[in-house]
Structure 1
């Protein structure tokens, strides 16, 4: 463990090793490959191996290459990633003690070659557990996770280990070794309870399947799933066309039913304007289909260019009658250049449909009584929908009224609503799946206790490579048995499109090959992950703003000054401020030459929390170092709110940690209100030389 701390400090520009054993106790049992990677064997519990199909053997360190190399030319492991050859490249981790561990990570191909080029065929990945001489595969449930060039897949699972057990992270060459470099930063944590487990991402439709069912351009909307006599009908809209096809959940594109111009399948008796997409479908009690539609190219003078509406089928989806518009943005956009409202995920609660869209760029909601919506649909029209107003409830008109946000605004992530929503009977919570075109791109899953309040989303699919030029749009939530109407149990699939190259207007983009991919991933919810009474700002640390209720911020140290976001760097896997040495990783923080840095935690509920830091707070030292000043601050609503100091006492000076020493930290109890933020703040004192500070707060609600 001492070496792990030393490595972490070196990452934060510290030139001398950590001399204080007390600081080691402050570290949680959180093992991150990106931090623990070393040039010596079996350091920080990590090892660097190869598998020849029969046995494991150790690689050799190559100092001139700064990486480990096996006995094959391209069998390589470095801090930045790994590459297989005839032998698998294998990262090993040895359990220092018995217990249950959570294993997290993203397997990410940073090669964006043509995924249909069979000479570049990607890799296969899986995780084994070795207990004595017994080898057991622990992830995925299938034989392996296939990673095509440019693809990525996240894993989350738990396993029980005995002291000395090994977890072995395999990358296999698949067929060829061309362009097989793979980024994989495993993370193993004792005492961390995840919200859900993730099995492998499975390809369910590729370019040939899209061609077979008549999707000639690309995936352009969420795929709607409707059970049909033991199989399933699937609906999709793309650029003025409507497709229907039939199959099972693993292989949807077995039988094409139709792929027509929308005008053939949509009846538009009242001549409503715009181009209509079917995004989600609800089966009515009498077996009819109510389609929630996204609308573009609408009349700017009436609804604006973007809108949402309803269509209705009484002949089992052979035709849909356009009923009318129900939702339009507050500002009537004149063109499609901006203002996309996304949509249209829905849930049902207490006799109301709740439908989600974005305004502007953040999810909001409108609702209408189910009986009124269905009665109007039977008459060939629509009823009145009302948007949520944060101050007065559902009082804002659905058409061009002002909508209130239902989840926190993304500072660096765009939470799009071209996805799906559902209610989990297992969890007693509402779910929303969507895509992000923000940093790292990917797929999110948000949870809410009611349909109008969702917490900051958690990532199902996301890359540490902030500028990864891919996109994962159009999500669908489906129960394992395929039943839909917006209700799932503990386990379900999230289907999502994958664009291997984005943006689509690049002249080199081959839409037919690179945009026609549909994956699904099984999610298993874990109620214990939602009922945690304690968090560690170490094991809960991630590279995504807001995830696990944590954030990473900076501010100018003056009264009334507000915090603002730091930026994730995918080269060194840590948060950077606006100054060179303003840095945060999972273990340490380093202030800038003028700016403070802080870890931020948002209270999920009202109560009193006990803040502790086992082993105290350690600050490095060196020539001319003068230590740091630390405080715990609080703001009542958001980063834009001024803060007050709650530790030491508000009228006391900041605590000073002298260079090269450990400051004991007696637990402190702090009352918090739901939504408040606590900031664990590090200030440079006089100068910021050698100011890396190891401070890993633990926060626990008191009974």
Structure 2
């Protein structure tokens, strides 16, 4: 005889020993995949089990290719330029800062000859280079034999958003220009503007910086320098964020940062000695801006103080290029790996991380450095930054009202969606065990469905972890995500899969479109309790 689910959360685990919930989420990466890299490890192609391109990754970005269940490409998203809404703390405009002084408000005016950056000279109301037409004036950059370069230097560490339109100013001829944005020596973005493209492109990049990092706005003449005047008014804004570098201290947990080591089985706190964090192995070390592994991995950990959607950024590179066999760097959310790279011993350029993932209060993000083969010269520079995006969390929006913050609670009988009724602190269906409570969905003969309705048109990101809540028995569950009546994704979760999947799905919606998160009982309803806390954010991708 199945027992009824009680109102109180403290009774839920015991009761769900006999019944369960299920859930699964859209995973960014297909578990079975093939990876091919160029020899310099700067470009990686990842294919799924069906031979479809899963993602293409460079030092500064990852482009995701997402498909529906029929194998049709439904979205192509550059993660490096995937932006949500953040709280802006301060802004610097190149146009407003323009003047006759190098470094005014952290803006500089230079040229690039293919080898070296050199300062321009201020003459006749404009900045001029060694080549006569390498010029910068107000919002105009004009290249010659050397590139025309405007530079912004970060006055402090944090997360920045780079924005602004770039377009041809003079459309009367020539062969167009090439425009680029670099952070130090890593290219973040590049476009070719045709000679008459006065519309251009809206730039939108989100990247972590440290004090002294340079952002280069480069205009190259393409082939000739005829009619190459280019309008570009970049704007750089700091967003509210949590920087590991700024938060570094002698206290575990200060601003939610911790310092640990991983022996392959257990995470253990490091001890603060002589101005740095030290592990059991003598060279397991963390300082303000570096991590060094030994026999144990060295781990910087951030713990989420609240639920929501976060952006993880920051450069990871070798700090000591004198020798050794390099290191392996990884990012995990709890025990799910989100990202990993092998950094060669002399790679001081490294990789720009850019991940967007949902978190719940208490979730841990681990920044791990592994010694690879030996620990020789394994000092690794890594200053991660974490920022919350504006988002809509199903967990936070949960309540007794249908439609609160766009969330609804329903059941699906194979033909029709019907609203559940709120009773005894939970949403209940026509069948006794079709239930939704906080982060739990439980199916019966009808599917348990959480629905979000788009309040406006745009591109959204769907994220969050899905896993079995009750792993004590049953035959698992089937989970699905729909946009209206179009199935985006489907998965079966085994009965004991408490790890589940980390989901990341980018899709366009119109006002009123419905996103359904469906849990089906599979065969039986026993032990089908499933934890699912979806988060939805509006994003833009330039």
Q: Same fold (TM over 0.5)?
A: no
Q: Which has the higher contact order (CA 8 A, sep 6+)?
A: 2
TM-score (norm 2): 0.30
Please identify which structure carries the higher strand content: 2
Query: Which TM-score applies when normalising by structure 1?
Result: 0.24
